[in-house]
Structure 1
């Protein structure tokens, strides 16, 4: 015998060799004239007997649940005999054969069928049923194969989900597979494991959270243990994803474990699903466990949200809500993802990742890092204004045009990251969406006064308290790299903003109205268009046109700046020419935020923001 080179060969030598030997022995004995005798001294043997057999290699290995299909190529030493004139002649020859085999394996070899035997020729590999596996019995799956693999699973167990958008009844599928779901136990004391699948009958060790001790529970082959914290600390979506993850382990990896147990004579009870799996770097070797975890991690959401019908459902909700992939905001994406997560019974994070995978690149706007307990970059409008108003560091960065508030993020003010639509609406570029960490400011969570009071006085130990929103807190020390990059880009470029032409207009020896009219002319705006954009009376257009000596009021200038989406530099120049300036009052800070951070928004949208804080709207046909 050769020394086995891999798991499949070791399995063949350990439990299949005798059956294969017997099949080859019978074939040779019964069909001696089918042998290749071109190099033999005996051309017409009376008998042929197998003397030795070596497994050379295997190929066309695939699995289908408990069935392992493979071709094994063996080299045989065969003793030929023939009666001749001078007595019995003997001669040994070497012959290679290919055997197509099918083995049924649970926690032992249930059966082995040799489907065919033929002389071996180096032919092209044949297509086979099931999924191809490596010689360590791990499925061969590339990223491009994942959706097809998920469809293959659903075609067997819930084909309806491939025809129309439907929530996949993952618990029912587990039941149909004969799997038992066990909940209510903590697998570890630190919530490092979501769940585990049991490949053998036995006992597993779990943790008592209240007694702070470990204890054993009996399990059957095919038991799925869901950590109690998976539901209480996460959500139902995480539970369903964990069940799908463990089902895939059972579907594709149980035969790997069974063969390991057989060849190593060591019982494997369970395979655990960690909350955080580290994968090798580009040129590092993957372990068997890492490959299987990657496959289960990638397949679970694809089973719960199959490609074709998931896209149908997303497009249906886009149409129903009047969303466009070009203009949808982070807040709208969160609403959409929440609706999808409810429909599919998965987490919102999982929905957003699935949207990205299926071509909805705008989902990156709302996709936070998986662990947002430390830092985050998505900040809603009121949180953004609150921090802008109260944080001098953030205010300085925004006022100095280093960052713009776009789609829920404070983004580096550069054309690499921000693009302006023909209608003047800013959005994130494809590059920005793919490199959010590079171009957005990071915020930490800070407990609000209400939350701090709640935590100091709460006596609730056993039950989860109602969630109270936390506040986003900015510190420059956590954003050194992105601030340095923004400053570097600003130094390299001529200041880039939509109203670039206005910056070229000199304010020297001009009145405020005169400069306003030059901006109107540079934009090519008619009187009616100007009035529509600013919600001002046409008298303001005529004053600019005639360059009246009167100076426009503070709010009139801010209204024009907001309506025409002028930058902060141009706005402050106009205010200076009229003898005005922003002060530190709350209202002025809100108005300044409209100029610096709501660029591209209409006057109506900016007025809605001001109204939410109780401030008077801009425009409204004012004449001052």
Structure 2
């Protein structure tokens, strides 16, 4: 038995009358005969209750001009800062206009296009969802669509037909035929008042510019509308307009699709730390410590000692995260097997994977600069000790450490404690790191100890980067917690009571 057709597949017999029906429906019946700009933004927001999102790039090559989400879901957008496609979560019916569209005329045409989809086509997809388990929830409106059909044999799908309707009717909504012709004829009359028998083509370009400005459409759209309504002299001006200028492309804004100021686990942060130069440089200043899911400036305004050497965020810090914490964001990465830019519809069953990110945005850049200032202020005066062992001995004395304290805090054996007391033993990096963890040193202090021993952390070496990370991501955490992290990432643990 043949499958019943969707009863909401709208057939359009006369595109001009369809545009006029739209205007009548949305409080613009007078504009059918009386020239005036169509308030398409007001129609979209006030009369259709649609949100307009114009901050996102809908494709990497400008091929997608707009989109409309009939319900909540995830729209694919292009993140120029990372040069990748990510997901933008939509919580309500929304129109997307590509952020590269700066021309008000092209912007309005895209709005009219998407508004027509909302008016005539949303019930088609509601029916599919409720009766056919359909998963399509949003149109991706490509710049060019086929005139021969998308299927083998040139058969047009319902999607093709709906997109063609919206593309063809949008300019007719913005430039109703009767009102538009009145305006064009009036401008010709004014421009040729002194010589009414002159060839109209000599002023056609001025007419196009005038009607484009008046109806708030693009110059090309005005020319095409004139030509299809019988003004043959406009044909020469119907060619396509150029894309966004190079200067505009160089200053593309960052996407707003990411969820910012998100807490992060120490393990996920370490993965980014190894990959992201800005994050590594920021944490390596030694003035941030990890607390309650955030890397926080190590300052009394933002952190306090909650006991047992644990740092907690102050109420002020929790209310002013942007001031004192690094901004980690969450982005949605599409499963490449489920997505394709050639598809005209967005589907609710598309798979997106969650991934943490750290960007060079304003907040993170400002905090990096602030950290460099803090770095100078927070550095302790260099110890008078001349060896790492002497430095450690002095600090252990300040902390009232005894032999049993040393063993429990560092995981090292008694022999290492005796060597510290002698002040001259040349320790390797691992036992010094274990002592630094036990003493709760910050990164600057640990780097000073290593410097006294002629050592430094080597960037690019996973083991050494992991040990360095302990003094920010696991600042003042006990040796057991640090070793659990090291074991999880495949790095040798510290201490374990052996003589090193």
Report the TM-score range of the alignment, normalised by the length of the smaller protein. 0.3 to 0.5
Higher-Rg member (1/2): 1
Q: Compute the TM-score of the two structures, normalised by the length of structure 2.
A: 0.47
